[in-house]
Every structure is written in structure tokens, then in C-alpha cells.
């Protein structure tokens, strides 16, 4: 993951260097160097084209640097079901807060869990989320490991079993892992700005929307200690009573890959001066192939391996170019279905932030 992050930062650095530079003149004495410089110039022009907008609709960033304070609340829910039985598990939400420093497309910072002010994970979930927003193309990278702090939130095991007795019961026998990347193209990028709503780097002047299309890939792992689950449930039952779990829930480990095509629409509503509300939704059709040994799992291509997933983004922000304040919600679903069982995972974050831009760019200093 550190290597992947390093490669990403290197690529973004190349992009950033090409955004506001003066260009490179092809004046090298050697023909080979001249060709190389021209190739670099063409590459930079192509990259710049990804971020071109129309000023009548979008106000570009005026400043080189920004400082920001952000609070993030994460949430997650996991539902396992089979033949009428279902168990819903979710950890307690984490609240993190921390400072950030930004330079153009970069944001550096660290958020601290306000309940555990240390650098040790202590068995809790691990997560890394990175979203790159340009006018034309967006990229999402995410890495999540659930940890051991799940609690049972809702149980349906049959009409003769009262599910309320299990609510809030800790269960450390499930681990969910997701590693993935999602890239999407914004068609109306000259008039519609995703960065205005989610990276605070531009300002939307006129209400506008855009269709989007994307591709993605995720690698998923699901570990379940079903013997521990059976034992923990039985301990909550009355003396002499036991829970009989459906055979579809009796597995230990599953690994599967997810190939995704998505499409959706996003709209920026400028409801007052310097104010913006954005709503965005993408519906993804995912083809999931399993590496686990599951009974009744079909080999080869099967229409039943297609599953729907959803990506949603919502944000509200006040931005007068100099300073900004706002909030956003980003959520995703990851669904897996076989002839034996279904596993539905929903996760995301709620962010609130306030920031200040400083050091005007050269072209804005004399205005």
C-alpha cells in the first residue's frame, strides 16, 4: 500500500508541475533532447486539458496554499443472510479530527481518533481512502480491514427466536477486507465541477449537472468464525435452547474479485451566492468471481455473478474563494450473492471542515 501511494503521489506531482508552469521551450542543442522536450510538452498539454473549464460557470482556484481542519465520522454495516435467516453487524462509529495542509492538488494531514489518541490500532479497523477530483476525471482508491470490534445490531433467525436478545452483543469473529480502485469520466466537465463540492479547489457559479461513466476493480476477503458465532448466540439463549444456523452461513473464508462498470449523474445546485449543494449517484454493475471453495458455486461465466452496487456523494459548502466551510457524505455498497448466501456491506464517511486559502497565484495578484 505504501508503494502504491508513492506511485500515485509521483504521478500527481507530474500533473501538478504541468498545471501552471510556463512550459518548456524546445531549444536543447541535441535533436534527441529536443524530441524529448516536445514529448513532455505535449504530455503536459494533454494533462492540462483534463482540468480546463469555462470561467462563466466555474471560478478556478486563486491561491497556491490552503490550511484546513476536518472532522470525519466513519460508518459501516455488514449483513449476512441465508434462506430467511439474517444477521446484521456494525462497529461503533469512529470520530476523527485533524489538521490538513494543501498545495494545489495535494492535501497532507492526519486525523486522530478522539477516543484513542495514539498511533496504535489496537485491533481496530484499518482504512485508507484517497479521492482525486479533477474537472474531467475522478479516481477513488480505498483499503479497508474491518478489525475485531463488530457488534450484532439485528438478528432474524426464525419466528420462535427473539432477535432482540442479541442486539448490541459484541462479536469479533468476522473480518471484512476491501481493496479497490474506481475511475470515472465526467462528460460535462467544462460546466460542472466536482472539485467545487468535494476538494474546495474551484467555485461553481451557475447550477449545472453532468452524466458520468466509470470502471473499477476490487479485491474482497470475508472471514467468518461460524463456530464462534454459534457458540456466542447459544450463550444468549435461555437454558436448554440453541440456535440452528442455516448451512449457508457455515463457512470460514471467501476471497473474490469484483469487476465493475458504473454510470450515474451529479448535479451542483448554486442556491445562493458562494453556496453550493451537490448530489451525486452512480449505479454499478459488478461481476464477482470467487476464489473460495463454496458448495453449489458455479464455475465459469454465470449471469448470477452480476451484482448491483451503489456509490453516493452529497456535499454542501460555502466558498468565497478566500475561505470555505462545508460538509460531505460519501458512501459505497459492496454486495455479494451466491446460491448459498448473500453478504451486503455498506460503508462510508461524514466529513465536516473549515479552511483558509492564502498566497495568491501570479495571474491574480494585479486584479
pLDDT at 206 over 90: yes
What's the sign of the alpha-carbon dihedral 48, 51, 56, 58?
Answer: negative
Three-state secondary-structure class, residue 244: coil
Q: Which residue has the higher pLDDT, 39 or 249?
A: 249
Which helix (H) or strand (E) covers residue 319, if one does?
A: strand 306-319
The structural domains of the chain, with segments of one domain joined by +, span 1-49, 60-364
Domain 60-364 -> CATH class = mainly beta
In this predicted model, what pLDDT tens digit does every residue of 72-118 receive, in sequence order?
998 888 898 988 889 999 888 788 898 988 876 666 777 777 766 55
**Amino acid 173: pLDDT:** 86
**Rounded-to-integer distance, Cα 346 and Cα 110, Å:** 24
Percentages helix, strand, coil for the chain, rounded to the nearest 5?
15, 50, 30
pLDDT tens-digit series, residues 34-45: 655 665 566 666
Amino acid at each position: 500500500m505504501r508503494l502504491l501511494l508513492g506511485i500515485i503521489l509521483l504521478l500527481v506531482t507530474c500533473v501538478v508541475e504541468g498545471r501552471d508552469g510556463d512550459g518548456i521551450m524546445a531549444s536543447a542543442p541535441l535533436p534527441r533532447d529536443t524530441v524529448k522536450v516536445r514529448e513532455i510538452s505535449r504530455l503536459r498539454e494533454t494533462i492540462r486539458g483534463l482540468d480546463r473549464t469555462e470561467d462563466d460557470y466555474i471560478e478556478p482556484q486563486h491561491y497556491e496554499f490552503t490550511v484546513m481542519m476536518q472532522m470525519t465520522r466513519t460508518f459501516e454495516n455488514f449483513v449476512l443472510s441465508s434462506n430467511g435467516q439474517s444477521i446484521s453487524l456494525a462497529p461503533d462509529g469512529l470520530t476523527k479530527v485533524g489538521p490538513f495542509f494543501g498545495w494545489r492538488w495535494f492535501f497532507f494531514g492526519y486525523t486522530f481518533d478522539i477516543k484513542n489518541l495514539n498511533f496504535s490500532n489496537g485491533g481496530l479497523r484499518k482504512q485508507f481512502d484517497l479521492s482525486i477530483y479533477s474537472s474531467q476525471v475522478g479516481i477513488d482508491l480505498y483499503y479497508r480491514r474491518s478489525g475485531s470490534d463488530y457488534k450484532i445490531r439485528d438478528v432474524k433467525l426464525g419466528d420462535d427466536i427473539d432477535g432482540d436478545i442479541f442486539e448490541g452483543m459484541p462479536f469479533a469473529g468476522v473480518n471484512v477486507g476491501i481493496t479497490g480502485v474506481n475511475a470515472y469520466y465526467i462528460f460535462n466537465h467544462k460546466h460542472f465541477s466536482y472539485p467545487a463540492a468535494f476538494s474546495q479547489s474551484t467555485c461553481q457559479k451557475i447550477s449545472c449537472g453532468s452524466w458520468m461513466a466509470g470502471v473499477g476493480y476490487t479485491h474482497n476477503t470475508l472471514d467468518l468464525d461460524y463456530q464462534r458465532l454459534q457458540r456466542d448466540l447459544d450463550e444468549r439463549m435461555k437454558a436448554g435452547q440453541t440456535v440452528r444456523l442455516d448451512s449457508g452461513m457455515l463457512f470460514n473464508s471467501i476471497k473474490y474479485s469484483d469487476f465493475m462498470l458504473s454510470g450515474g449523474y451529479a448535479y451542483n445546485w448554486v442556491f445562493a451566492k458562494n453556496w453550493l449543494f451537490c448530489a451525486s449517484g452512480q449505479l454499478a454493475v459488478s461481476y464477482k468471481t470467487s476464489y473460495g471453495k463454496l458448495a453449489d458455486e458455479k464455475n465459469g461465466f454465470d449471469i448470477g455473478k452480476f451484482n448491483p452496487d451503489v456509490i453516493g456523494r452529497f456535499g454542501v459548502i460555502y466558498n468565497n474563494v478566500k475561505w470555505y466551510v462545508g460538509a460531505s457524505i460519501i458512501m459505497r455498497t459492496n454486495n455479494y450473492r451466491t446460491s448459498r448466501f448473500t453478504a451486503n456491506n455498506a460503508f462510508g464517511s461524514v466529513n465536516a471542515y473549515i479552511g483558509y486559502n492564502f498566497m495568491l497565484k501570479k495571474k491574480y495578484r494585479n486584479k
